[in-house]
């Protein structure tokens, strides 16, 4: 999955907690999110709006639900329930555990949460 496809898929399924998300889909979407945050910070710094943080807050609000659902679908790809997202609230250890989960390769073939999005016999949405 390419950069543009991952972004489109992330926003198309912004409230879909079912299914699976490939590693490339997750990491390209996170890259786009970080680029938007950096761009917002640069714009706020250049215009003097950094005290309010309005643009950064708006970006965070727009991406809140899509990043949560993308993380849940990524966890589904490694055959873990989406409730593992709550481990992020544990200081230090939680985010590290999630990072390890998100870096792992997805399970081959079908798992509890659906067909393998990149394996044989899977149905990958065409754009």
Classify residue 112: in a domain, yes or no: no
Q: Strand, coil or helix: what is 11? A: helix
Cα R_g (the chain), whole angstroms? 16
Which residue from 97, 107, 41 is spatially nearest to 76, judged by alpha carbons?
Answer: 107
| In a domain? residue 30 | yes
Residue 93 is assigned to a structural domain of this protein: yes
Task: Identify whether 55 is part of a domain.
Answer: yes
pTM equals 0.87
Number of domains in the chain: 1
pLDDT digits (tens, 9 = 90+) for 66-78: 999 999 999 999 9
Give the bridge partners for 111, in sequence order: 114
3-state secondary structure of 76: helix
- pLDDT tens readout for residues 87-105: 999 999 999 999 999 999 9
Query: Which domain does 32 fall in, by range?
Result: 3-103
Assigned domain for 68 exists: yes
The single residue listed with the structure tokens 């970006």 is 59
Residue 39 domain flag: yes
Q: Is residue 81 part of a domain?
A: yes
């Amino acid at each position: 999955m390419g950069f543009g496809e991952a972004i489109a898929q992330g926003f198309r399924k912004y409230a879909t907690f079912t299914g699976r998300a490939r590693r490339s889909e997750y990491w390209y979407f996170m890259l786009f999110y970080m680029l938007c945050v950096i761009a917002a910070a640069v714009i706020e710094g250049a215009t003097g709006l950094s005290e309010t943080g309005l643009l950064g807050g708006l970006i965070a609000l727009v991406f809140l639900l899509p990043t949560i659902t993308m993380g849940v679908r990524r966890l589904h790809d490694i055959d873990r329930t989406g409730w593992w997202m709550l481990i992020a609230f544990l200081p230090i250890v939680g985010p590290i555990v999630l990072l390890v989960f998100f870096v792992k390769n997805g399970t081959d073939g079908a798992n509890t949460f659906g067909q393998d999005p990149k394996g044989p016999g899977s149905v990958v949405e065409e754009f």
